[in-house]
């Protein structure tokens, strides 16, 4: 099987993306992530299999979704005077019949298996825009390097087709994985959340040691490819000592570009559709909240930007 035939589970293809690397890009969001960040803007990508979004405002309780399911994965529950579907994801095989049966689009399945060739046929529709803007394709998630062989096939085929490539990663992958894909990556959008091993493991299930090892290797091998992204989260890392410590460490290892990402709640509606509680503050940060840190990074000689 060639790279073009390799399959990946795609959550979304976002054309004309401007915050996922340089220029105009198509961002390919894949499913699966080893972390469980409570502030995640794409919680539907965390699981490996398909998950359902349910919009209660659209649902009329007709029950067509349950009737359409050949596996009995959907049952109806009554709350007050309304009926709602409840999904048993262990029984769901992703057939999407429930989605097709719902004329009001109240229930939608997140996640579709596509070949690399199918994805890139969509990506290549906007080649003229990439060439005019210095853009290309960005592989994001989830954690796209969770399935390293699939990511490698995608990136390698993208390069064969002459596409500029970027990958957004949590850095919670083995350094050998980064070494494997690096020849086919033009831009690494590399997340650094915390340098505290215990805090990172407790809060998101990640490893600061693993994250730091990978970034050290990239900084020593291909520093011009790296753009570090630091999501600033109230109650997690939003204090001067912690954030300046991250900036100092980036400077020490040779990382020279950093994006400071103010905490936002743009994914809040997705938690409602997944039937999950959103456990983070409801008030976003403003760009000006990070101005002092931005100036500090620049005082060291780093390229710093607030926002993606």
What is the helix (H) or strand (E) element at residue 261, kind and residue range? strand 257-262
Quickly list H helices, 141-239: 148-160, 175-181, 197-204, 208-221
- For 240-266, write each residue's pLDDT tens digit: 999 999 999 999 999 999 999 999 998
CA distance to 66, 126, 166, 225, 244, per residue, from 137 (Å): 38, 10, 6, 15, 32
Q: CB of 189 within 8 A of CB of 166?
A: yes
Indicate the pTM of the whole model: 0.92
Q: Inform me whether the pLDDT recorded for 24 exceeds 80.
A: yes
Q: Residue 110: what are its φ and ψ, rounded to 5°?
A: -105, 115
pLDDT at 1 over 80: no
- Residue 108: is it exposed, middle or buried by C-beta count within 10 angstroms (0-12/13-18/19+)? middle
pLDDT band at 130 (very low <50, low <70, confident <90, very high): very high
- Mean pLDDT, residues 174-187: 98
Top pLDDT among 49 and 144 is at 144
The pLDDT-based confidence of 15 (bands split at 50, 70, 90) is very high
Read off the DSSP letter of residue 286: P
Q: What pLDDT is stored for residue 94 in this prediction? A: 86
Tens digits of residue pLDDT in 35-86: 999 999 999 999 888 789 999 999 999 999 999 999 999 999 998 888 889 8
Residue 162 pLDDT: 97
How far is 182 from 208, CA to CA, in rounded Å? 21
Question: Which tens digits make up the pLDDT trace of 287-306?
Answer: 999 999 999 999 999 999 99
Write down the pLDDT at residue 81. Answer: 84
Whether the Cβ atoms of residue 38 and residue 147 lie closer than 8 Å to each other = no
Q: What share of the chain is helix, strand, coil (3-state, %, to 5)?
A: 40, 25, 35
pLDDT band at 108; cut points 50, 70, 90:
very high
Distance CA 201, CA 34 (A): 11
Question: Which residues contact residue 200 at a Cβ distance below 8 angstroms, ignoring those fewer than 6 apart?
Answer: 193, 194, 206, 207, 208, 211
- The tokens for 282 are 């409801």
Mean residue pLDDT of the chain comes to 95
pLDDT reported for residue 271: 93
Lowest average pLDDT, out of 9-18, 79-88, 208-217, 264-273, goes to 79-88
Q: Are 184 and 159 in contact (CB under 8 A)?
A: yes
**Who wins on pLDDT, 277 or 49?**
277
């Amino acid at each position: 099987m060639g790279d073009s035939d390799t399959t990946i589970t795609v959550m979304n293809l976002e054309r004309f993306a401007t915050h996922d690397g340089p220029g105009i890009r198509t961002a390919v969001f894949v499913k699966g992530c080893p972390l469980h960040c409570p502030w995640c803007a794409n919680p539907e990508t965390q699981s490996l299999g398909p998950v359902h979004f349910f919009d209660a405002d659209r649902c009329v309780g007709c029950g067509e979704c349950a009737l359409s399911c050949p596996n009995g994965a959907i049952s109806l529950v009554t709350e007050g005077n309304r009926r709602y579907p409840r999904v048993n994801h262990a029984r769901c095989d992703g057939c999407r019949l429930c989605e097709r049966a719902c004329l009001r689009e109240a229930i939608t399945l997140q996640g579709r298996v596509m070949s690399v060739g199918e994805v890139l046929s969509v990506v290549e529709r906007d080649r003229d825009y990439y060439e005019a803007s210095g853009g290309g394709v960005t592989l994001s998630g989830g954690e796209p390097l969770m399935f390293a062989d699939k990511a490698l096939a995608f990136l390698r085929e993208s390069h064969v087709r002459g596409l500029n490539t970027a990958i957004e990663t949590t850095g919670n992958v083995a350094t050998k994985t980064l070494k494997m894909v690096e020849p086919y990556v033009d831009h690494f959008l590399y997340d650094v959340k915390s340098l505290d091993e215990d805090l990172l493991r407790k809060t998101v299930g990640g490893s600061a040691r693993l994250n730091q090892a990978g970034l050290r290797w990239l900084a020593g091998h291909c520093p011009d490819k790296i753009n570090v992204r630091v999501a600033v989260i109230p109650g997690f890392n939003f204090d001067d000592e912690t954030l300046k410590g991250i900036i100092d460490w980036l400077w020490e290892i040779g990382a020279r570009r950093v994006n400071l990402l103010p905490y936002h709640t743009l994914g809040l509606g997705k938690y409602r559709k997944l039937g999950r509680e959103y456990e983070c503050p409801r008030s976003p940060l403003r760009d000006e909240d990070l101005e002092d840190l931005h100036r500090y990074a620049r005082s060291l000689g780093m390229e710093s930007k607030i926002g993606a």
